[in-house]
Amino acid sequence: MWNGKESVMPEVHAFNTIPAKILLPIDFSPSSHEALEQATALAQHFHAEVYLVHVVPEGAKVDEAKKEAEERFAVSVAGLSAKGIKASSSVEVDNDIAGSILDVIEREHIDLIVVSTHGTTGWHPLVFGSIAEKLVKLVHIPLLLIRTEKPESSAKVSSGRLMEWW
């Protein structure tokens, strides 16, 4: 019932909706390639920094996996820089991938996380659960899920309309 008084919405103290630093967990799959395309567009639009992270599971060949990820990130960071986007990256070593990503969010003061919903395929996600699903439940910052089709393989993305990031 209208009582003749105009109601006013209470002031809400919320997070800043314009991201300054965007986190992108990368597993070098076609899905994370598409997520990087989307994060790049957001960073250009909002003049935000992009922070790339890859988490290497503890175990055999850690040094080799870290070196390969760092080489791929060098190409990615150079591509982002060429587009006028400030970018940095890190390679973390941890068996708790979601936990490691949460640590990066805190340490790097991340405002937005962009995650693809399909990454590495095979039995691993069925047994251990989706990293994206865990992040949705655990992060306390805005999260953008990029839904991609489940890849038939982990083959390299063709260079059609997408830039080669690694």
pLDDT for 58 beyond 60: yes
> Which whole number is the average pLDDT over 139-164?
65
Cα–Cα distance measured from residue 15 to residue 75, given in angstroms and rounded to the nearest whole number: 32
Confidence of residue 147 (pLDDT cuts 50, 70, 90): confident
Which two three-digit tokens encode residue 118? 């399909």
For residue 90, the SS3 value is strand
Summarised one tens digit per residue, pLDDT across range 89-112 is: 999 999 999 999 999 999 999 999
Which two three-digit tokens encode residue 67? 């070196």
CA 137 and chain centroid, separation? 15
Cα–Cα distance measured from residue 31 to residue 77, given in angstroms and rounded to the nearest whole number: 18
> Which whole number is the average pLDDT over 25-52?
94
Cα–Cα distance measured from residue 77 to residue 43, given in angstroms and rounded to the nearest whole number: 13
Question: Where is pLDDT greater, at 57 or 166?
Answer: 57
> Which whole number is the average pLDDT over 105-131?
74
pLDDT for 139 beyond 50: yes
> Which whole number is the average pLDDT over 127-156?
74
**How many residues in total does the chain contain?**
166
| Token pair 């800043």: residue | 16
Picking from 61, 31, 22, 37, the residue whose alpha carbon sits closest to that of residue 125 is 31
User: What are the chain's domains?
Assistant: 21-146 (3.40.50.620)
Q: What is the CA radius of gyration of the chain?
A: 18
pTM of the model: 0.77
Q: What are phi and psi of 66, to 5 degrees?
A: -65, -45
| Mean pLDDT for all residues in the chain | 82
Confidence of residue 13 (pLDDT cuts 50, 70, 90): very low
CA 65 and chain centroid, separation? 19
Confidence of residue 4 (pLDDT cuts 50, 70, 90): low
